[in-house]
Chain A
Amino acid sequence: MRRSLFRKNLVTALLLAPATLWLVVFLVLPFVAIAVFSVGERAPEGGYQAALTFAQYANLPARATAFWNTMVLAPAGALACLLVAYPVAYYLALRAPQRWRLILLALIVIPFWTSLLMRTYAWMYILGGRGIPALLAYVGIEDLRLINTPGAVLLGIVYGYLPLMILPIYVSLERLDRRLLEASADLGATPLSTFLGVTLRLSLPGVMTGFSLVMILLLGEYLIPTLLGGGKVFFIGNALVDLFLQSRNWPFGSAIAITLVLVSVVVLIVANRISTRLSGARRVDLI
């Protein structure tokens, strides 16, 4: 009895070992290093020199604009994604013919096989002067500028993160018990109130999962604003890149990174709470 328990524990330990090792080496240790850097000082020639000071954290307001821009971009981008993704997920889960469903899902996932970097760079050329504006010039719309506008950034974000939003919503809609919809109709609800009262409500866990997933990734986004926004709008991601690669102020960059992680955790917790409350469920899966 005791022996088999020991064996069970051993198996569990062995199964968990690779993941634990991986996380310790590539997540915990770097995080500790960043935490140590963040209470240090910038060496005269850049980089890090040992110290114990909270000056870097006190200096955080110097990047207030970047934090602010990110706090606006992340929810706004996630919301735009949601508005586009929900109808798609709805169609896939409730309306699409069964035999097409798998193919349609695959079509949504396939772009993920190519790096986001490359797909975003492709948009640079599609929106650039030789792309859509050149086509529009044929029909008389001259000198239209699409690239390096807020619209281009939004488009890039929705395009890049759409699958991450569609999939969780699809999953929660797919699990929806169709009999509830019939019951709602039988009890005299209009299609709209059935949608709002039953379908939407029951898919909220998926919505919140998709929303927090996209939002957390957007908190660290810097590529899309740089490539499609012309580097004119500064996000926390951009601040980090510049601090580590340009001014080589590693301690200040580390302090910002730590703050960003804390903010992300808070966002997760809040999203989880809201989701639990709205859906009335006891537990919500956040990927």
Chain B
Amino acid sequence: MPKSYRDGLPITPDKFVDQLMRLKRGSISRRDFLGLTGLGVATAVMARELGIMPTPAFAAENLGDRMSIATWPNYHDPQTFENFKAETGVAVEVNVFGSNEEMLAKLQAGGSGWSLFVPTNYTISTYKKLGIIEALDMAKLGNFDGKSEDARFTAEGTIDGTIYAVPKNWGTTGFAVNTKKLAKPMSSWKEFWDTAMAEGDGRAMVHDYQLTTIGNALKYYGYSFNSLKQDELAKAEELLLKVKPHLFAVSSDYQPGMRAGDAWMTMCWTNDGAQLHRDVPEIAYVLGKEGGEIWTDFYAIPKDAPNKPAGYALLNYLMNPKVAVKEHLANGAPSTDARVNALLPKEVLDNPILYPAADLLKPLEFGAAATLTDPGRAELMARFKSA
């Protein structure tokens, strides 16, 4: 396993600036930008030359020479897209997002230009309801094997027996702690929030994301991560407003702060936790014993995808266990696919950040669809951020 997933990154300063300017011209959101610069996911494979040599495997359909994917920061092995381009001639442009809400906003507005994207489990039913995503044509996805998938993680991709999305990987939402700065061992969300107001004053980060920030505040009181109950949300709001003045930042771009030592503790997703721990060993990843979020990210194809053949081709390519295994080594999130797990090195499978003990997983909840569109939670988040 290479020391850093950034090794061999194909980005040059020129390309980086180019990507930046492209974003600037378009509708840049700050998270696009953060994702891109944060840790160089600008990896965005901005191949410019036209590809011309489709291999026989893909020759049946005209794939064009470019497509666009919407995904998360630090989420792919940049080499994957390079290899895909070498095999098919299709250059993949990578758009990076910070929240499912933002992806949904772009797709609702129309003309996103994506031929593949990576929604999280709890959003798929909404996409289907709004008629934004395709029922997948499984004949085009020969590399996908439903039988090798762990049903716990794939369920939400299938609605009324139709497959709308296939899983990429799963993960958890816990918190990362710099144990050199905060030596006291922690194991719960209660400790996370209490420490943020005490030893960690001015050094803790929470996500700029209603689902996890409100959800993990709800866990302080032992309520459901997905609660929409007025009185429970009011308690969570009380806690959030109390913690707010003590925070280092409200941001989902927490890797730079943690790496630089400015932030000592942050809400954190599995894959970021694994990357941080790999590069900065004193950063530990903790799951709250009260519970919290477990999630699966899926691949789905928008109905208005400009290049569906390439979208299917890339998806099928990514479902190849030999390709997928490299993705998991790069982004550090655990796989849902038994065929991939069989190929992963033992030290990855034994890594408790990726594959936590069963008793820690048990209380975790998948995010609920209702939180995505609930105005109450959105307004709570706005009050927290403006406090």
In the complex, the answer to whether B257 meets A238 with C-beta atoms within 8 Å is no
Q: How far is the CB of B122 from chain A (nearest CB, A)?
A: 13
| Contacting residue for A63 out of B20, B21, B375, B382, CB 8 A | B382
Contact present for B21 and A128 (CB under 8 Å): no
Interface of B is mostly: helix
Chain A hits for B99, CB < 8 A: 245-246
Tell me which residues across on chain B come within 8 A of A47, comparing CB atoms: 108-109
Once the chains bind, are B37 and A246 in contact (CB under 8 Å)? no
8 A Cβ contacts from A47-76 to B = 47, 62-63, 65-66, 69
Could you give, for residues 1-44 of chain B, a 1 whenever the CB lies within 8 Å of some chain A CB and a 0 otherwise?
Answer: 00000000000000000001100100011100100010000000
The residue that B373 contacts in the complex, of A46, A66, A129, A244, with Cβ under 8 A, is A46
Q: Decide: A245 and B260 in contact? CB cutoff 8 A.
A: no
Is B126 interfacial (CB-CB < 8 Å)? Answer: yes
Known: A46-B373, A239-B386. A223 touches B247 (CB 8 A): no
The digit string for A28-53, where 1 denotes a CB below 8 A from any CB of B, is 00000000000000101111000000
Q: When the two chains form their complex, are residues B105 and A244 in contact, meaning their CB atoms are under 8 A apart?
A: yes
Which residues of A have CB within 8 Å of B379?
Answer: 62, 247
> Known contacts A63-B386, A247-B101, A248-B104: does B129 contact A45 (CB below 8 Å)?
yes
A227 to B250, CA, bound (A): 10
**How many residues of chain B are within 8 Å of chain A by beta carbon?**
42
Assess the A232–B250 pair: CB atoms within 8 A: yes
| Smallest CB separation, B31 vs chain A (Å) | 8
Chain B positions 122 through 146: 1 when the CB is less than 8 Å from some CB of chain A, otherwise 0:
0000100110000000000000000
**CB of A118 closer than 8 Å to a CB of B:** yes
CB proximity of A80 to chain B, nearest CB, Å: 23
List residues of chain A with CB within 8 A of the CB of B375. 42, 247, 249
B190 at the interface (CB under 8 A from A): no
Q: Which residue of B lies closest to A244 (CB)?
A: B105
Name which of A115, A128, A247 has the most chain B CB atoms within 10 A of its CB. Answer: A247
With A231-B251, A248-B105 given, is the CB distance from A222 to B262 under 8 Å? no
CB-CB under 8 A from A242, the residues of chain B are: 378, 381-382, 385
Tell me if A158 counts as interface (CB < 8 A to partner B): no
Q: Distance in Å from the Cβ of A230 to the closest Cβ of chain B?
A: 3
Instruction: Confirm or deny: A276 has a beta carbon within 8 angstroms of a beta carbon on chain B.
Output: no
B249 interfacial contact with A, CB 8 Å: yes
Residue of B nearest to A247 (CB): B378
Q: How far is the CB of B213 from chain A (nearest CB, A)?
A: 11
Q: In the complex, what residues of A have CB within 8 A of residue B208's CB? A: 231
Instruction: Name which residue of chain A comes closest to B100, CB basis.
Output: A246
Residues facing B in A224-238 (CB within 8 A) are 226-227, 230-232, 234, 238
Q: Let me know if B126 and A230 touch, CB within 8 A.
A: no
The yes or no answer to B248 lying at the interface (CB within 8 A) is yes
CB distance from B356 to the nearest CB of A (A): 29
Of B20, B28, B109, B249, which one neighbours A231 at CB under 8 angstroms? B249
Report the bound CA distance from A115 to B28 in whole Å.
Answer: 12
User: In the complex, A238→B105 CA distance in Å?
Assistant: 16
How long is the Cα–Cα vector from A63 to B108 in the complex, in angstroms? Answer: 24
| Count of residues in A whose CB is under 8 Å from the partner chain | 41
User: Inside 8 A of A115's CB, which chain B residues have their CB?
Assistant: 20-21, 24
What's the nearest-Cβ distance from chain B to residue A111, in Å? Answer: 15
Q: Which of A145, A243, A246, A249 contacts B262 (CB 8 A)?
A: A145
Which single member of B30, B102, B248 contacts A148 (CB below 8 Å)? B248
Residues from chain A with Cβ under 8 Å of B386 in the complex: 63, 65-66, 69, 234, 239
Q: Is the CB of B260 within 8 A of A129?
A: yes
B201 nearest CB across to chain A (Å): 11
Residue of B nearest to A121 (CB): B37
Q: Is B54 an interface residue, CB under 8 A from the partner?
A: no
Distance in angstroms between the alpha carbons of A47 and B131 in the assembled complex = 14
Contact A128 B257 (CB under 8 A): yes
CB distance from A113 to the nearest CB of B (A): 11
- Of the candidates A63, A128, A241, the one having the most CB atoms from chain B within 10 angstroms of its own CB is A128
Interface positions of B from 249 to 265, Cβ below 8 Å from A: 249-251, 256-257, 260-262
**Interface assignment of B326: CB less than 8 Å from any CB of chain A:** no
Contacts A117-B24, A231-B208; is A246 near B387 (CB within 8 Å)? no
Q: Is A147 an interface residue (CB 8 A)?
A: yes
CB pair B108–A121 under 8 Å, yes or no, is: no
Scoring A residues 12 to 41 as 1 if CB is less than 8 Å from chain B, else 0, what string do you get?
000000000000000000000000000000
Contact yes or no, A230 B247, CB < 8 A: yes
In the assembled complex, B321 has its CB within 8 A of some CB on chain A: no
Residues of A115-146 whose CB lies within 8 A of B: 115, 117-118, 121, 124-125, 128-130, 145
Residues of B close to A125: CB separation below 8 A: 256, 260
On A, residues with C-beta under 8 Å from B are: 42, 44-47, 62-63, 65-66, 69, 115, 117-118, 121, 124-125, 128-130, 145, 147-148, 222-223, 226-227, 230-232, 234, 238-239, 241-249
Q: 11 other contacts beyond A47-B108, A117-B33, A125-B260, with CB at 8 A cut-off?
A: A65-B386, A65-B387, A69-B386, A115-B21, A115-B24, A121-B37, A129-B257, A129-B260, A231-B385, A247-B378, A248-B105
Q: Could you list some 13 contacts between A and B, CB below 8 A?
A: A45-B373, A62-B382, A65-B386, A66-B386, A117-B20, A129-B260, A241-B29, A242-B381, A246-B105, A246-B378, A247-B210, A248-B108, A249-B378
